[in-house]
Amino acid sequence: MARSKKSAPPARWKKLGTRPLAETRVFTLNAERWRHPGRGTEREFAVLDAPDWVNVLALTPEGALVLVRQFRFGTGDFSLEIPGGMVDRGEKPLVAGGRELLEETGFAGARARVLGTVSGNPAILNNRCHFVLVEDAVRTAATAWDHDEEIEIVTAPVAKVLAWARAGRIVHPLVLNALFLFEPRWAEIQRRPSRRRKA
Amino acid sequence: MARSKKSAPPARWKKLGTRPLAETRVFTLNAERWRHPGRGTEREFAVLDAPDWVNVLALTPEGALVLVRQFRFGTGDFSLEIPGGMVDRGEKPLVAGGRELLEETGFAGARARVLGTVSGNPAILNNRCHFVLVEDAVRTAATAWDHDEEIEIVTAPVAKVLAWARAGRIVHPLVLNALFLFEPRWAEIQRRPSRRRKA
């Protein structure tokens, strides 16, 4: 890693306090007061306090991913995504992933593991998003949607989903993160002897 | 695309109105009232009204990416990212990308193009984030940071940045999106005859 000569390391600000500005069902908007240690200046920044999120890559035995298509109120449009939602207080990401997958799609699988974790958005959100991979996902139950949820369930081969992602047909940044982290794992899964025999 | 037999297409809700809840320097939090066309039910959803964002992949002649490391108030921690910021009203994403790159790092380049565009987050944000690729990026000017900005400028080879991204060292979802979209372009750039001669 090459550091520019003129470039000094940034300072770690100190949080002085938090003042709630507005509360909604999915996050609380806070004004946080921070002090710069060197300059001594104090400033307020807007931060959304939200529970962690989870998104699930559910791979079917046929090598397809389980997708959900729903109307989103931020964009005011339909969005093609992978299943996901909020992690409940005290819930493990793996458990939350399995729960959201089952509730939204009726699918369940095996060998669940966390592929990675990112920030919701380090500039404005204080939460994290976990990505869970589930293999051998099959439909085992009826869906159990939350109030207001209305979800079209779609399955498509991994290669097609990756092509859609890079062509702009998937626009949810966290869903794209899940696919980015999954892509090298998918290459590994395809090289497994059991899969080669099937192919 | 295989649609489940039991899965009906979701409805397009109709927006009835917008009520501001709080305003900050980077977004306005609105309560939006929506009606489901079939059920006739009305519900309020929280939506952040924000200007579009831009993030810039600045590739140096040596095949390195220009990164910025700064303190982020959402996570309350340092974050390794690519340069970026808000698109000004009426500004083209390409212009905004070049401006943010120059202001934050002093770098400028050639052959700027938009690699792709995603939603800020379709569930809670109404804006988009554009990803701009700039080649032959070299330092041409001093930085011109906004108030409160304090940025460490770092360059690192593309392969290393991609490895950091997949290893969890980069946690900004939009920066990871930019790298996801850039990865196949980088493979193309490396196959160019001019590059092969250099190698």
Residue among A29, A126, A174 minimizing CB distance to B22: A29
In a domain, residue B110? The reply is: yes
> What is the rounded CA–CA span in Å between residue A34 and residue A39?
12
In a domain, residue B33? The reply is: yes
- Any chain B CB within 8 A of the CB of A163? no
Q: Do B24 and A31 touch (CB under 8 A)?
A: yes
Tokens 């593309």 locate to B158
- Both A23 and A82 in one domain: the answer is no
Residue among B122, B160, B172 minimizing CB distance to A74: B122
Q: Which of B24, B139, B164 to mutate to test the interface with A (most CBs of A within 10 A)?
A: B24
Percent of chain B predicted with pLDDT > 90:
85
Chain A, 7-46: which have a CB under 8 Å from a chain B CB? 7-13, 15, 21-22, 24-27, 29, 31-32, 34, 36, 43, 45-46
Residue among B7, B148, B171 minimizing CB distance to A122: B171
- Both B114 and B81 in one domain: the answer is yes
Q: Give residue B33's domain range.
A: 14-49
Chain A, 49-108: which have a CB under 8 Å from a chain B CB? 64, 69-79, 81
CA-CA-CA-CA torsion sign (B99, A47, B175, A59): negative
Partners of A156 on chain B (C-beta within 8 Å) are 1-2
pLDDT at B96 over 90: yes
Would you write out chain A's pLDDT as a tens digit for each of its 199 residues?
Answer: 555 445 668 999 999 999 999 999 999 999 999 999 988 899 999 999 999 999 999 999 999 999 999 999 999 999 999 999 999 999 999 999 999 999 999 999 999 999 999 999 999 999 999 999 999 999 998 888 877 789 999 999 999 999 999 999 999 999 999 999 999 999 999 999 876 555 4
What is the phi-psi region of residue A170: left when phi exceeds 0, alpha when psi lies from -120 to 50, beta otherwise? beta
Question: ipTM of the predicted structure?
Answer: 0.94
| Cβ pair A97, A56 in contact under 8 A | yes
Partners of A27 on chain B (C-beta within 8 Å) are 46, 124
Residue among A11, A116, A176 minimizing CB distance to B71: A11
- Both A68 and A98 in one domain: the answer is yes
- Both A126 and A151 in one domain: the answer is yes
Q: Do B151 and A7 touch (CB under 8 A)?
A: yes
CATH number at residue A107: 3.90.79.10
Q: Do B121 and A174 touch (CB under 8 A)?
A: yes
pLDDT of residue A7: 63
In a domain, residue B7? The reply is: no
Q: Do A69 and B129 touch (CB under 8 A)?
A: no
- Both A170 and A79 in one domain: the answer is yes
Q: Are strands A64-72 and A28-35 parallel, antiparallel or unpaired?
A: unpaired
Please give the structure tokens belonging to residue A41.
């200046």
> What is the rounded CA–CA span in Å between residue A184 and residue B183?
12
pLDDT in tens, B132-176: 999 999 999 888 887 778 999 999 999 999 999 999 999 999 999
Q: Which helix (H) or strand (E) holds A133?
A: strand A128-139
- Both A20 and A117 in one domain: the answer is no
> What is the rounded CA–CA span in Å between residue B115 and residue A192?
33
Partners of A150 on chain B (C-beta within 8 Å) are 8, 10-11, 36
> What is the rounded CA–CA span in Å between residue A126 and residue A112?
26
In a domain, residue B6? The reply is: no
> What is the rounded CA–CA span in Å between residue A1 and residue A17?
35
Q: What is the domain count for chain B?
A: 2
- Both B62 and B149 in one domain: the answer is yes
